């Protein structure tokens, strides 16, 4: 059963609201979204190579996303990005990295506050 876990700095990810922008010539993916997806792709491929895990197959894949955010949205003030909004950016990158279409993904997104080390941990299992 293939299984890997990676971590990426929280600040590098972008919200689903930023994944596509409109221009005079049509829709485009901003550079920061491309950079976030590329970083995830490299981390996932690196973890696969480092752990020599079995290849992922076109079968149900679990993508677990644990967001350690900077602030507690229940504490008042300006909240950071909602963790669920990271799902499209992460799913697209994982899809490319494990070579399995995201139509067979099942996902769980959760969060905790960690002001010292805001990050996103992504676990991919099959």
* CATH number, domain with residue 58: 3.30.1330.70
Closest CA to 102 of 91, 93, 111: 91
Q: How many CB atoms lie within 10 A of CB 46?
A: 13
- The answer to whether residue 26 scores a pLDDT higher than 60 is yes
CA pair distance 49, 67, nearest whole angstrom: 24
Which tops the pLDDT comparison, 63 or 24? 63
Provide the number of structural domains found in the chain. 1
pLDDT digits (tens, 9 = 90+) for 79-121: 567 788 888 889 999 999 999 999 999 999 999 988 899 899 9
Q: 9 forms bridges with which residues in the sheet?
A: 119
- Lookup: tokens for 121: 């941990």
- The answer to whether residue 77 scores a pLDDT higher than 60 is no
Give residue 29's domain range.
Answer: 3-125
pTM of the model: 0.84
CA pair distance 66, 41, nearest whole angstrom: 17
């Amino acid at each position: 059963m293939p299984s890997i876990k990676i971590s990426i700095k929280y600040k590098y990810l972008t919200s689903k609201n930023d994944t596509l922008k409109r221009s005079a010539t049509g829709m485009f993916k901003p550079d920061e979204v491309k950079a976030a997806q590329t970083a995830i792709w490299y981390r996932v491929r690196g973890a696969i190579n480092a752990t020599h895990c079995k290849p992922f197959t076109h079968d149900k894949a679990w993508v677990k996303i644990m967001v350690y955010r900077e602030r507690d949205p229940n504490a008042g003030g300006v909240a950071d990005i909602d963790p669920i909004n990271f799902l499209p950016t992460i799913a697209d990158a994982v899809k490319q990295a494990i070579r399995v279409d995201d139509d067979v993904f099942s996902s769980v997104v959760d969060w905790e506050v960690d002001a010292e080390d805001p990050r996103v941990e992504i676990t991919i299992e099959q």
